[in-house]
């Protein structure tokens, strides 16, 4: 039996248990108590269903609920179908690693910055309307609600612009584990069209590999707050936004129905995931029946090309949105329907300098601390697995995904109550802790596969040469893995920069980051200043990604065996 690294593993388990799992459990418990009427701070000590009746009676509740379901389920399913169709149509003709690189900006940019950019593009006074103005004869912005629309269409589009690239990346990496070309040849030789082979042969193999990421996307889309504030309908908003507002209502008794709403939000995500699992089971049955009939089917090509066209349109909108952030931050006079500003200026940057410098500093400190802690914990976890020479148990894998599947709004209020009780609320460390709950899973997921892909015989060779566990880690594994480690760090920075609710709740509104400022500014005030914050918000993760590529390239410039071989 193997006792190596037992202390390391026990330490990692303790940190994960107390640092990641306990806060979520405490948060859900405290929120749950308030949802059933127990709030000692207000002198409420008797359990009741009152908060739930109050919740149902709140104005706009039913609409909020419907909006959440339609935008959350709709954007996820559409994104999944489009991403799948796109891969089916172009996978054979694309250079996968180049394609994955092109997706990087879409993944790096925070949801809030993308949302701000999409407002600049889609709004009645935005770029698309300006392009159409000469044709339509508009000399002022048309009177159509193209963002914050009552159906949540703009929000759905915004979510899709972010989720389609993520799903593309996930599907592409799953496809790299499957002999697609050979299965395609085998299927077509049996008389099946390209699209049908994709549906009957390839996707059933891909699905188990992308199931968890799809759940994460679904949970996120159902409970997103920042993007829904910027792009979604405002009165009534989606449930997550409504719950956030009720929590910060001046009337403290609103905490009770707000907590009920937060728990409902968690239940909705749970039910949606259950629905997806049920659909999978039914699909399995029906799919098998359909497969056994052996129909060669009609050509699915037109559908695939339509999906690809929509994906390209979404990506184009995303690119326009990113460019528009920079253009607006440098614009001075820009009247409708001019395509470009009539005069440019650095004044938006200079004027808001104090504000964005403070927000940038806070953002950098939070990103540095959360990513540093998460990376250290992830490396300790993986090294613990190595030293015990064990593979990961399924329950451990589930622990990693847990914070990504439970809606933030479901437990952040309760966690804040818990933090208050231990005197940690309102400070930067409370925010670091809360953000790390979401940064760590992404860092861990990003680092796990490259870490395991390291040839174990190379580590055995180092041990056989007399290198102990410490030297094997510091002198062999970490330098060889520097590229994936920095990629994981860059992903962590992007996640940290994008955090809105944890910063808002745990910072008690006192810790301003680029994201909290961008969301606040997006409602109404000066587009140029909003552009400054959103540009910084989008630029920071992107700069870190670039550094993550450049640094290993420089450190290992004379090492061909490490040039991009294992990312």
Partner 1 sequence: MSLDLDALCIRSANGTALFQPLTLHVPAGDVVTVMGPSGVGKSTLLDAIGGHLAHGFRLSGTVRLNGRDVTAQPAETRRIGLMFQDALLFPHLSVGDNLAFGLPPGLRGRAPRREAVEAALAQAGLAGLYERDPATLSGGQRARAALMRTLLAEPAALLLDEPFSKLDAGLRGDMRRFTFDHVISHAVPTLMVTHDPDDAAAAGGPVIALKGPVAP
**Stretches 364-372, 438-446, 453-461, 508-516: which one binds partner 1 (CB under 8 A)?**
453-461
Burial class (CB in 10 A: 0-12, 13-18, 19+), 158: buried
- Do 377 and 440 meet the contact criterion of CB atoms below 8 Å apart? yes
Contacts of 324 (CB under 8 A, 6+ apart): 117, 120, 121, 126, 127, 531
Cβ proximity to partner 1: between 178 and 555 the closer is: 555
Cβ proximity to partner 1: between 448 and 537 the closer is: 448
**374-393: contacts with partner 1 (CB under 8 A):** 388-391
Q: Is 455 in the site for partner 1 (CB under 8 A)?
A: yes
Q: Is 460 in the site for partner 1 (CB under 8 A)?
A: yes
Cβ proximity to partner 1: between 288 and 389 the closer is: 389
Cβ proximity to partner 1: between 339 and 461 the closer is: 461
Q: Is 561 in the site for partner 1 (CB under 8 A)?
A: yes
Closest to 405 measured CA to CA, from 236, 272, 548, 256: 272
Candidate list 58, 467, 549, 551; residue touching partner 1; CB under 8 A: 467
Candidate list 140, 188, 347, 559; residue touching partner 1; CB under 8 A: 559
List residues bridging with 344 in a β-sheet.
331
Contacts of 134 (CB under 8 A, 6+ apart): 337
- Do 156 and 238 meet the contact criterion of CB atoms below 8 Å apart? no
Candidate list 129, 379, 437, 476; residue touching partner 1; CB under 8 A: 476
Number of residues that bind partner 1 (CB under 8 A): 32
Tell me whether the omega of the peptide bond preceding residue 150 falls within 30 degrees of 0, making it cis: no
**Residue span 30-49 as binding mask against partner 1, x where in contact by CB under 8 A, dash where not:** --------------------
Q: Is 394 in the site for partner 1 (CB under 8 A)?
A: no
Q: Is 4 in the site for partner 1 (CB under 8 A)?
A: yes
Cβ proximity to partner 1: between 293 and 457 the closer is: 457
Candidate list 13, 209, 469, 551; residue touching partner 1; CB under 8 A: 469
Instruction: Report d(CA 526, CA 336) in Å as an integer.
Output: 16
Phi, psi of 503, deg, nearest 5: -65, -45
Q: Is 397 in the site for partner 1 (CB under 8 A)?
A: no
Q: What is the SS3 string spanning 13-45?
A: HHHHHHHHHHHHHHHHHHHHHHHCCCEHHHCEC
Candidate list 183, 194, 358, 556; residue touching partner 1; CB under 8 A: 556
Tally the C-alpha atoms within 13 A of residue 329's C-alpha that lie toward its C-beta: 25
**106-125: contacts with partner 1 (CB under 8 A):** none
**Stretches 32-40, 283-291, 523-531, 556-564: which one binds partner 1 (CB under 8 A)?**
556-564
Buried b (16+ CB within 10 A) or exposed e, 107-132: bbbbbbbbbbbbbbbbbbbbbebbee
Cβ proximity to partner 1: between 63 and 567 the closer is: 567
Burial class (CB in 10 A: 0-12, 13-18, 19+), 479: middle
Tell me the closest approach of the beta carbon of residue 459 to partner 1, in angstroms.
Answer: 9
Tell me the closest approach of the beta carbon of residue 178 to partner 1, in angstroms.
Answer: 25
**Stretches 107-115, 419-427, 469-477, 517-525: which one binds partner 1 (CB under 8 A)?**
469-477
Q: Is 479 in the site for partner 1 (CB under 8 A)?
A: yes
Cβ proximity to partner 1: between 189 and 464 the closer is: 464
Candidate list 98, 144, 189, 464; residue touching partner 1; CB under 8 A: 464
Tell me the closest approach of the beta carbon of residue 485 to partner 1, in angstroms.
Answer: 13
Cβ proximity to partner 1: between 62 and 475 the closer is: 475
Q: Is 6 in the site for partner 1 (CB under 8 A)?
A: no
Instruction: Report d(CA 87, CA 98) in Å as an integer.
Output: 14
Candidate list 480, 490, 491, 544; residue touching partner 1; CB under 8 A: 480
Three-state DSSP at 181 gives helix
Instruction: Report d(CA 522, CA 504) in Å as an integer.
Output: 16
- Do 28 and 265 meet the contact criterion of CB atoms below 8 Å apart? no
Closest to 265 measured CA to CA, from 97, 92, 412: 412
Q: Which residues bind partner 1 (CB under 8 A)?
A: 1-2, 4, 388-391, 455, 457-458, 460-469, 472, 475-476, 479-480, 482, 556, 558-562
């Amino acid at each position: 039996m193997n006792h190596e690294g037992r202390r390391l593993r026990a330490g990692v388990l303790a940190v994960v248990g107390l640092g990641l799992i306990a806060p979520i459990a405490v948060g859900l418990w405290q929120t749950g108590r308030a949802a059933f009427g127990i709030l000692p701070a207000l002198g409420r000590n008797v359990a009741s269903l009152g908060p739930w009746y109050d919740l149902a009676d709140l104005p706009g509740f039913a609409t909020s609920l419907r909006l959440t379901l339609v935008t959350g389920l709709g954007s996820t399913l559409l994104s999944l179908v489009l991403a799948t169709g796109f891969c089916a149509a172009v996978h054979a003709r694309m250079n996968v690693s180049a394609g994955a690189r092109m997706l990087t900006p879409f993944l790096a940019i925070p949801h809030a910055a993308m949302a701000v950019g999409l407002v600049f593009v889609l709004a009645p006074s935005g770029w698309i309307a300006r392009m159409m103005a000469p044709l339509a004869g508009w000399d002022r912005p048309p009177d159509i609600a193209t963002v914050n629309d009552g159906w949540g269409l703009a929000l759905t589009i915004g979510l899709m612009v972010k989720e389609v690239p993520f799903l593309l990346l996930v599907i592409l990496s799953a496809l790299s584990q499957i002999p697609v070309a050979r299965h395609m040849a085998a299927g077509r030789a049996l008389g099946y069209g390209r699209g049908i082979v994709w549906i009957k042969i390839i996707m059933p193999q891909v699905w188990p590999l992308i199931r968890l990421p799809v759940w994460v996307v679904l949970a996120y889309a159902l409970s997103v707050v920042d993007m829904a504030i910027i792009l979604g309908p405002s009165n009534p908003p989606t449930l997550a936004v409504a719950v956030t507002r009720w929590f910060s209502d001046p009337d403290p008794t609103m905490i009770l129905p707000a907590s009920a709403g937060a728990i409902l939000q968690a239940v909705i995500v749970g039910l949606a995931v259950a629905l997806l699992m049920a659909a999978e089971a039914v699909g399995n049955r029906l799919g098998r029946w359909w497969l056994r009939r052996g129909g060669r089917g009609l050509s699915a090509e037109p559908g695939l090309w339509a999906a690809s066209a929509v994906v390209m349109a979404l990506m184009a909108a995303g690119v326009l949105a990113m460019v528009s952030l920079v253009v607006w931050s440098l614009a001075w006079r820009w009247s409708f329907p001019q395509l470009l500003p009539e005069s440019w200026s650095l004044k938006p940057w200079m004027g808001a300098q104090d504000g964005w410098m403070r927000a940038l500093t806070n953002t950098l400190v939070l990103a540095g601390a959360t990513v540093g802690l998460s990376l250290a914990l992830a490396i300790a976890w993986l090294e613990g697995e190595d030293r015990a020479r064990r593979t990961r148990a399924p329950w451990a894998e589930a622990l990693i995904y847990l914070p990504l599947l439970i809606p933030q709004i479901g437990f952040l209020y309760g966690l804040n109550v818990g933090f208050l009780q231990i005197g940690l609320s309102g400070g930067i460390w409370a925010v670091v802790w809360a953000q790390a709950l979401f940064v760590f899973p992404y860092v861990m997921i990003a680092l796990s596969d490259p870490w395991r892909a390291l040839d174990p015989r190379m580590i055995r060779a180092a041990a056989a040469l007399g290198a102990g566990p410490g030297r094997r880690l510091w002198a062999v594994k970490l330098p060889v893995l520097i590229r994936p480690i920095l990629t994981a760090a860059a992903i962590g920075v992007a996640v940290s920069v994008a955090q809105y609710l944890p910063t808002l709740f745990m910072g008690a509104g006192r810790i301003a980051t680029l994201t909290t400022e961008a969301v606040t500014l997006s409602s109404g005030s000066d587009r140029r200043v909003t552009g400054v914050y959103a540009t910084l918000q989008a630029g920071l993760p992107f700069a870190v990604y670039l550094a993550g590529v450049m640094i290993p390239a420089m450190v290992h410039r004379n090492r061909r065996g490490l040039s991009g071989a294992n990312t």
